[in-house]
Structure 1
Amino acid sequence: MSAVSVYTYTHSVTYVADNILKSFRDIIRLSGLNPKELTDSWQSKLLALSTWIASQDLEKVILEIYHPVTGALVVRWDLDIVYNWSTDEGTFYTDTDQLRYAIQKAGVVPSEAKYDVLLKTKPGRPDVQGWGPVEFRSTTGMVKQSLGSTVEHNGLGAQAAYWRKA
């Protein structure tokens, strides 16, 4: 791998990680919630995303929006990481229109709802301070709506889906 390819891959990792967080910020805001918690922990999340995308250990980034009393999911957003990086691709985009349309379909969430950003990684991934194993809330009684690719840089990207009540 040449120095140019290494730089480009690093640039792709940074682009994808940053745009995943920007997409989640938009989802949170357009769903009627305050993105302050996300923005306050942005650097920690960006470090974990960048580290695990670079090592190809990140499988999925999940935004769980849940009821604070019951803990039950209201809606869940998944971004599956796609590792098809290539120096030949030369493409980059973030499909905010597709996300905006899906957010409208999913609807505004109750104002008391809370959210968590969770990362699903492969076993044996490098450690990142402040990050460890997590459990996901149940999606029982929900259906998954796939949106396709929403973030991409040279084939490295994320495919979005959301879970809603059946």
Structure 2
Amino acid sequence: MTSVAVNIYTHSVTYLADNILKSFKDVIRLSGLDPGRLVADWETNTRALKTWLGTGDLERVVLEVFNPRTGALIVRWDIDVVYNWSSGDGSFWTDTEQLKYHIRKAGMAPSDASYDILIETKPGRPDVAGWGTGTYRSTEGFVRHSLGSTIEHYGLGGSAAYWRKN
């Protein structure tokens, strides 16, 4: 029975990692930006997400869209990880329609905008090649809008939010 639970958890980790990145790809693309850099870093991003989801150390994944000349934040998207995993009866889904609605609500990014992916983990997490420490851009003057649960697989999930100017 343990091997079944471990196998399901591994699938949950893979499902959540893939759908976090796919959700951010949608945000980037539907905001009018080029997802090329995200796609080029897909393997490194996936490795980090799967490692830290697997150890329970992943807390939040953040997409910051910013002005490349000033570094000022334009909009920020968060996916907070929820660890309510269960090997029992479960469901899996990604609410892409809710995400698309809020992307339209947040508006298009300026054509010269850039973006970064940041990952927040618990202290003492294992290292993953290609990842180091970083800091968030200031959200002063921004308001956080919660979308609620947007990704779930057997209780392992992601709750999305975005920050926009007040």
Q: TM-score, normalised by structure 2?
A: 0.99
Aligned counterparts of 1:25 and 1:18: Cα–Cα separation in 2: 10
| Conservation of the 8 A alpha-carbon contact between 1:16 and 1:153 | yes
Deviation at 1:120? 0.3
The runs of 5 or more residues in structure 1 that have no matched partner are none
| Conservation of the 8 A alpha-carbon contact between 1:147 and 1:160 | yes
Name the count of aligned residue pairs: 166
Question: Does residue 147 of the first structure (1) align with residue 159 of the second (2)?
Answer: no
Specify the alignment match of 2:110 in structure 1: 110
Specify the alignment match of 2:20 in structure 1: 20
Superposed CA RMSD:
0.7
SS at 1:161's partner residue?
Answer: strand
Specify the alignment match of 1:125 in structure 2: 125
Aligned counterparts of 1:47 and 1:139: Cα–Cα separation in 2: 28
Deviation at 1:11? 0.5
Aligned counterparts of 2:150 and 2:72: Cα–Cα separation in 1: 26
Deviation at 1:89? 3.7
Amino acid across the alignment from 1:128: V
Deviation at 1:119? 0.1
Specify the alignment match of 1:55 in structure 2: 55
Deviation at 1:87? 1.1
Aligned counterparts of 1:97 and 1:79: Cα–Cα separation in 2: 16
Aligned counterparts of 1:78 and 1:72: Cα–Cα separation in 2: 17
| Conservation of the 8 A alpha-carbon contact between 1:25 and 1:35 | yes
Aligned counterparts of 2:160 and 2:104: Cα–Cα separation in 1: 15
Specify the alignment match of 1:99 in structure 2: 99
Aligned counterparts of 1:15 and 1:131: Cα–Cα separation in 2: 21
Aligned counterparts of 1:108 and 1:58: Cα–Cα separation in 2: 29
Deviation at 1:24? 0.3
Specify the alignment match of 1:76 in structure 2: 76
Aligned counterparts of 1:71 and 1:89: Cα–Cα separation in 2: 46
Deviation at 1:139? 0.2
Amino acid across the alignment from 1:26: D
Amino acid across the alignment from 2:36: K
Deviation at 1:90? 1.6
After the TM superposition, list the runs of 4 or more consecutive aligned residues in structure 1 that deviate by more than 4 angstroms: none
| Conservation of the 8 A alpha-carbon contact between 1:89 and 1:155 | no
Amino acid across the alignment from 2:16: V
State the identity as a percent.
62
